[in-house]
Chain A
């Protein structure tokens, strides 16, 4: 398994602009300037996790295993308030949800 010599020597520090692009959030240059130190500070603080001795500890996905079989049958059901749901769509026209063009990006 990979070993980490020091908390941030192997991992690149957060590149706020690039992360914003990945997360599809537009942020201004002012926000980048404001957020970067705060995010870096928190991520450095996360570094405690790398310092901890966690050899052979199993990761826990959640608090406890789901109690019993909680899956319902895979049967479609009609939602009883379709009109209310559709009235929440910002740009709904002629039974389509209207959005700007979807370009191909490299």
Chain B
């Protein structure tokens, strides 16, 4: 499907392979001569340390591109004046000049989803009830970004409180998919996915409760990484469903997702659900493909989830995912088909659990201690009016559904049964992962649909989460990589699911896949 906007000619493929990478940083960070993506983080680090480029020049190129493309895409809810970022970049250049020790994310431009608290920028969670809210603290993931030298370029758009799969439920604006501006970027981390896709930032943080990092990654042709529940602290992530929420990474290469994950992971005393497990050195796996063996995935057991490649999935998605699976086989992996009979039950179970937990988590928004307040003659009216005016329709509906499911006498029928389904899904996936190294499925049953197409049909919207929710129910890590296009040039992503806390294996396999996959052109959208 052609974009309705005239796109400027592509300026960016450098004819000379040697100069292409560096020039790419200034123009559009894309691919090396072989079309496999370069790590923007590693390339920037190398250029900064060798003084080939300065942090200021790097920041300027992203700020300029953001300014140029933002009117059409609308990924960001807040972008501080570019001077702020440039000043931080200048300070970094001084450090580099002095030979000071730099963090692994030094000079890296990052977008942060607006449901992750930043004390120096508003954090609205995409809702009017938090309009202009400025948290008095940084989320742990944000503190870690800053401590590692990252430069936060802005806060990205999302479906309100993370509730949605298209970013259309933002109270502020709709974000367009950089591949086709008439289509959704996916959700709820649509702003982060679009920003990475359009190279408005190098990497971005999102959150994933039912697929909200992975599905937009698929729709926007970028890499999406959902860590194991407990790998990254949730302190400062505006809670939607506390047993399901995680903070995740969006990037243009697997290496960048892994480096970003390493920087934000780790035990946090402020999050009782965060794991004390050591964070492996993910970065050591991102070796150049010249160092790969001929069958680098020899012996890797790949389980293809039967229920994800049949009815209800677009044929173009099935075809692209089969292409990815063939490539995995070419690399030496052993394929088998696995079946998860409870697979489709996961979707209603997820929505019962998520709505129920949300109804509890969102009860804190009462207009009294923070956020927007609407007046009332008595306290209850103040609560009712503040919430009635501050929350959008989808959020209200989910709170009401959750309230219903948790009502006295209804617990057995809904919530308890959803938790029982959770056990079935957990056991089924655990079982499959004992016999396989990774499981594979599409990331979404379709490519990006048109803005407005599913907005008024909640069940149609929810159905799009079928590929992703079970992973959240089981708390597992998953990695989404672009693997092809539809006939209309819309990206398709496939999903690899791993064992708990085994992001290392996912990243290693993902990196090898990505660096050797010749799926066609580089995943840079035509808007650039």
Which A residues contact B (CB, under 8 angstroms)? Answer: 1-2, 4, 10-11, 14, 16, 19-20, 22-27, 31, 34-35, 38-39, 41-43, 45-46, 48-50, 52, 54, 57-64, 66-68, 70-72, 79, 81-82, 84-85, 88-91, 97, 99-103, 105
**Restricting to B368-406, which residues have a CB under 8 Å from any CB of A?**
368-373, 375-385, 387-389, 391, 393, 396-397, 399-401, 403-405
Contact with A along B248-288 (1 / 0, CB 8 A): 00000000000000000000010011111100000000000
Query: Which residues on the B side are within 8 Å of A41 (C-beta)?
Result: 458-459
Instruction: Determine how close the nearest CB of chain B comes to the CB of A41; give it in whole angstroms.
Output: 6
Q: Enumerate the 5 nearest inter-chain pairs by beta-carbon distance, A residue then B residue, closest first.
A: A63-B475, A59-B419, A26-B388, A84-B136, A26-B384
Contact B458 A70 (CB under 8 A): no
> Which of B137, B348, B397 touches A35 (beta carbons < 8 Å)?
B397
Number of interface residues of B (CB under 8 A): 79
**Which of A43, A58, A60, A102 is most buried by chain B, counting CB atoms within 10 A of its CB?**
A60
Q: List 30 interface pairs A-B (beta carbons < 8 Å), by A numbering.
A: A14-B401, A23-B403, A24-B387, A25-B399, A26-B388, A27-B396, A38-B397, A39-B397, A41-B459, A43-B404, A49-B417, A49-B418, A52-B342, A59-B416, A60-B419, A62-B243, A63-B243, A63-B473, A63-B476, A70-B272, A70-B273, A88-B136, A88-B369, A89-B369, A90-B367, A90-B370, A90-B371, A90-B372, A99-B379, A101-B378
Contact A26 B385 (CB under 8 A): yes
Query: Which residues on the B side are within 8 Å of A26 (C-beta)?
Result: 381, 384-385, 387-389
Given A31-B393, A63-B474, A100-B376, A43 and B401 touching (CB < 8 A)? yes
Among residues of B, the one whose C-beta sits closest to the C-beta of A8 is B413
Which B residues contact A (CB, under 8 angstroms)? Answer: 119, 133-134, 136-137, 229-230, 243, 269, 272-277, 342, 345, 348-349, 351-352, 359, 363, 366-373, 375-385, 387-389, 391, 393, 396-397, 399-401, 403-405, 407, 409-410, 412-414, 416-424, 426, 458-459, 462, 473-476, 500
Contact B400 A14 (CB under 8 A): yes
Given A66-B272, A84-B136, A102 and B419 touching (CB < 8 A)? no
> Which of B376, B380, B403, B409 touches A19 (beta carbons < 8 Å)?
B403
> Which secondary structure dominates chain B's binding surface?
helix
Contact B136 A85 (CB under 8 A): yes
Contact B277 A100 (CB under 8 A): no
**Which of B366, B373, B404 is most buried by chain A, counting CB atoms within 10 A of its CB?**
B404
Contact B420 A54 (CB under 8 A): yes
Query: Which residues on the A side are within 8 Å of B473 (C-beta)?
Result: 63
Among residues of B, the one whose C-beta sits closest to the C-beta of A102 is B379
Contact A90 B387 (CB under 8 A): no
Query: Which residues on the A side are within 8 Å of B419 (C-beta)?
Result: 59-61
Contact A88 B345 (CB under 8 A): no
Among residues of B, the one whose C-beta sits closest to the C-beta of A1 is B412
Sample of 15 further A-B pairs with CB below 8 A, known A26-B385, A66-B272: A23-B387, A24-B366, A24-B380, A26-B384, A38-B458, A45-B348, A45-B459, A49-B348, A49-B352, A49-B414, A54-B424, A63-B426, A81-B119, A84-B136, A90-B370
Contact B367 A88 (CB under 8 A): no
Contact B387 A100 (CB under 8 A): no
Given A24-B387, A27-B388, A31-B393, A19 and B417 touching (CB < 8 A)? no
Cα distance, A2 to B426, chains bound together (Å):
25
Cα distance, A54 to B134, chains bound together (Å):
45
> Which of B137, B409, B474 touches A81 (beta carbons < 8 Å)?
B137
Given A25-B388, A31-B393, A60-B422, A99 and B368 touching (CB < 8 A)? yes
Among residues of A, the one whose C-beta sits closest to the C-beta of B362 is A23
> Which of B426, B458, B474 touches A42 (beta carbons < 8 Å)?
B458
Cα distance, A3 to B373, chains bound together (Å):
45
Cα distance, A57 to B385, chains bound together (Å):
42
Among residues of A, the one whose C-beta sits closest to the C-beta of B275 is A67
Instruction: Determine how close the nearest CB of chain A comes to the CB of B139; give it in whole angstroms.
Output: 14
Cα distance, A41 to B404, chains bound together (Å):
13
Given A54-B420, A88-B370, A25 and B413 touching (CB < 8 A)? no
Query: Which residues on the B side are within 8 Å of A90 (C-beta)?
Result: 367-368, 370-373
Contact A64 B397 (CB under 8 A): no
Among residues of B, the one whose C-beta sits closest to the C-beta of A101 is B378
Instruction: Determine how close the nearest CB of chain B comes to the CB of A45; give it in whole angstroms.
Output: 6
> Which of A31, A67, A97, A103 touches B368 (beta carbons < 8 Å)?
A97
**Which of B243, B375, B380 is most buried by chain A, counting CB atoms within 10 A of its CB?**
B380
Among residues of B, the one whose C-beta sits closest to the C-beta of A52 is B345
**Which of A41, A59, A79, A91 is most buried by chain B, counting CB atoms within 10 A of its CB?**
A59
Contact B348 A100 (CB under 8 A): no
Given A50-B417, A54-B420, A101-B378, A61 and B243 touching (CB < 8 A)? yes
Instruction: Determine how close the nearest CB of chain A comes to the CB of B279; give it in whole angstroms.
Output: 14
Contact A57 B420 (CB under 8 A): yes
**Which of B133, B134, B397, B400 is most buried by chain A, counting CB atoms within 10 A of its CB?**
B400
Given A48-B345, A97-B369, A64 and B475 touching (CB < 8 A)? yes
Instruction: Determine how close the nearest CB of chain A comes to the CB of B41; give it in whole angstroms.
Output: 29
Contact B373 A58 (CB under 8 A): no
Given A35-B396, A49-B345, A42 and B475 touching (CB < 8 A)? no
